[in-house]
Amino acid sequence: MINKGTAAKYIVHVGLPKTATKFLQRCFFPSLDNIYYCDPRTTHKKFAEYCHLAGDFIFDASYARDLFNANLKLEGSNRTRVFSQEGLYGDPWHGGALIKRNCDRIAAIFENPHVVIVLRNQPDFLQSLYHHYIKSGGTETWKTFLCSQEHPLIISPDYFMYGSYIQYLINVFGKDRVTVLFYEDFKRDAVAYLNQWCDILGVQRDCWDKSILDRRENPSLSPALVPVMRFLNKFTSSSKHPNLLLPRNFHGGVKKVMMRLSARLPHSGRPAIPQKAADEFLKDCHDSNRLLEEIVGRDLEPLGYHKA
C-alpha cells in the first residue's frame, strides 16, 4: 500500500525494529536534499526521548511540539519534515503495551502527518528479536523467552499483529495518510524499495546515490552461536544484566568475537527458536495477517506472512 506523502508537512516513519531502520536513518534520509531530516540521534534526540519515555500523566503534546521545533533550521521550513524512530511502533520487550499509546502521541503532536511503517514477516522477525536479545546480553532460553511475562522481558503475540495496528492507523489518520512497506521487498530489490521511499517523500527517484547500498550493515548472530553466547552472557555485565561478575566491556569483547565467528558460519539450518514452537507462538497472528492482506491488497503468503 503506497501512498505519496507529498501533501503532508510531516512524514513519520515508525519502524518496525529489525527492518533496516538504521540504514534509512544513517545513509538514505540524510542523503536527500529535498527533505528536512530530523535525526533522532542528534538534533531531535531530546524530542525522541520525550516521546518514548514520558509517562502518560506527564506527557504534554504542546511541549513535545516545542522540542521538535526547537532544532529546526530556517532553511528547512518549506521542506517536508521526516522523522524516523523505530521505537514509535512500540518496544518489543514490553509486549503490545505501548503500540496504541505511541500512535495516539503521533496524532497529538503532528498536524496531519503521513505515517510509514515497514513490516517484516513474523517468523523471521521473532527469530531476529531473539538473536538481538542474546547479542544484547540476554540469558534466557528460547522457551523462557517466548513465555516471559515479567519486566524487563515481556514477549507477546500482540506485538506481531500488524493488521490490527494498520487498521488503527487508518482509523486515526485516514487511509491516504498511511503507507505500508515490506522488509522482504528491501531484501529482494533494494533499489526498487528505496524508489518507493522516493515516491512517498515526493523526491525524484534518481536523486540518491546508489553507492549507499554498499554501506548496508546487517550483522546477525549465527544460530549455532546463540547457545554459546547465551552461556557467556551469564558472567558478563550488559544492558540486560548490569551487575554480573565481569564488567560490561567484557560483554563488548565477547560480542565482537561472536560476530566475527558468525560472519564465517552459515546462517541457514536449525533456527535458534524451533520452527514448530515459533509457529505455535504466532498462530494468533493469522487473522491479523488476513486483515493486513485486505488492507494492502496483496497476497502476502509468498513473503512469509502466514494465515493458517
CATH number at residue 99: 3.40.50.300
DSSP string, 191-232: HHHHHHHHHHHT--TTSS-GGGGGG-------GGGHHHHHHH
Total count of domains within the chain: 1
pLDDT by residue (tens digit) across 4-20? 655 789 999 999 999 99
Q: Does residue 228 lie within any of the structural domains?
A: no
Structural domain harbouring 73: 10-122+154-218+284-303
Q: Does residue 260 lie within any of the structural domains?
A: no
pLDDT score of 208: 92
pLDDT by residue (tens digit) across 142-175? 999 999 998 889 999 999 999 999 999 999 999 9
pLDDT score of 77: 61
Q: Does residue 209 lie within any of the structural domains?
A: yes
Q: How far apart are CA 111 and CA 11, in angstroms?
A: 10
Q: Does residue 165 lie within any of the structural domains?
A: yes
pLDDT score of 71: 80
- Contact (Cβ atoms closer than 8 angstroms) between residue 279 and residue 123: yes
**pTM for the model:** 0.94
- Low-confidence residues in the chain, pLDDT < 50: none
Q: Does residue 293 lie within any of the structural domains?
A: yes
Q: Does residue 248 lie within any of the structural domains?
A: no
Q: Does residue 130 lie within any of the structural domains?
A: no
Q: Does residue 227 lie within any of the structural domains?
A: no
